[in-house]
Amino acid sequence: MNRVQNWEAKIIHREKLLLGEAAFWHPELQRLLYVDIEGEKLAWFDPVSRQKQDYLLDKKVGTIVPADRHQVVVAIQGSLALIDLRDHIIKTLITLEDDKPANRCNDGKCDALGRLWFGTMHIEAKPGEGSLYCYDGQLTKMLDQISISNGVCWSPDNTVMYHTDSLDKEIKAFDFNLTDKKIANPRVIIRIEEEGCLPDGMCVDLEGMLWVAIWGGGCVNRYNPVSGELIGVVRVNAPLVTSCAFGGSNMTELYITTASKWPDSTMAAKYPDSGSVFVVETDIKGLATNFFQS
């Protein structure tokens, strides 16, 4: 049995994100970007200067990906949009699910060719109401009857795509064809057995290992996606862990978002760090962020 490596995350920015999500590292700006879904905003944070800026939106925003140095694509409730971080100009790229006004966008990332993969879900997480889409100027539905689409990411050689429907408590791998964006041969590689815990956002390191934010577990778990073995745990002093992303000058720092929207106030008092952004130095390099290419 291999030894499980352990780390302790520390707060790098104390705040009260209602539902932090979709963290990514912008290599040109050297900043962390993320969203607050329930707070209807996106934000960037400079870990060196500790400066932070929020961009308030009027709709729930599920994910954010870079398009160039100053523009990002956001998946908001009902549409995909391009936002210029300099002047805050928003340009709608495409509308989504006009027949499902109670749906919103959730987690997503770009593949190595710059296509945006993202999910949708019912705002009350009703089972089977969401889908997984791929957008490259045209919108293609890749999976349907999804409850909470999360954590899409790829192996370093771009032959495997990982995805989770959080309510299933399972992480699946798909054979992935980068050229024609086809996915096939879905199989369960990891099951989350712990009571009250769900797999949330994910990322991959250069060794091909999978890092999974565990909602309800106060941790990010590192798994071998081939064997399914747990090989590392990052402890976070906030149970509702939502997403993780490698960043920093050496791409060895793991940034972690959390949520503070508890169903009751007793849990909020017990875990006052909930909603903050955390970081841990791992000495393991992560994959670079893929930019959106229209």
106 annotated ligand-binding residue: yes
Instruction: Please give the average per-residue pLDDT across 46-70, as a whole number.
Output: 94
What letter does residue 185 receive in the DSSP assignment?
E
Residue 268: what pLDDT? Answer: 80
pLDDT, tens only, 231-266: 999 999 999 999 999 999 999 999 999 999 887 777
Mean pLDDT of 164-170: 97
Domain locations along the chain: 5-281
Exposed e or buried b per residue across 137-157, where buried means at least 16 C-beta atoms within 10 angstroms of its C-beta: eeeeebbeebbbbbbbbbbee
Q: Is 150 annotated as a binding residue?
A: yes
E strands, 147-286, where? 149-154, 160-165, 170-177, 182-191, 198-204, 210-215, 219-223, 230-235, 241-247, 253-258, 277-281
Give me Rg for the CA atoms of the chain.
17
* Residue 1: pLDDT band with limits 50, 70, 90: low
Residue 68 annotated as binding site: no
Backbone angles phi, psi at 13, to 5 degrees: -150, 115
pLDDT at residue 92, rounded to an integer:
96
Instruction: Identify the band that residue 7 occupies on the pLDDT scale cut at 50, 70 and 90.
Output: very high
Active site residue 46: no
The answer to whether 97 is annotated as binding is no
Active-site choice (200, 264, 273, 283): 200
Torsion of CA 10, 51, 269, 41, to 10 degrees: -120
**What CATH number should be reported for the domain whose range is 5-281?**
2.120.10.30
For range 88-101, the mean pLDDT: 94
**Mean predicted lDDT score pLDDT of the chain:** 95
Cβ neighbors of 272 (< 8 A, separation 6 or more) are none
- pLDDT for the residue numbered 20: 97
CB atoms within 10 A of CB 213: 30
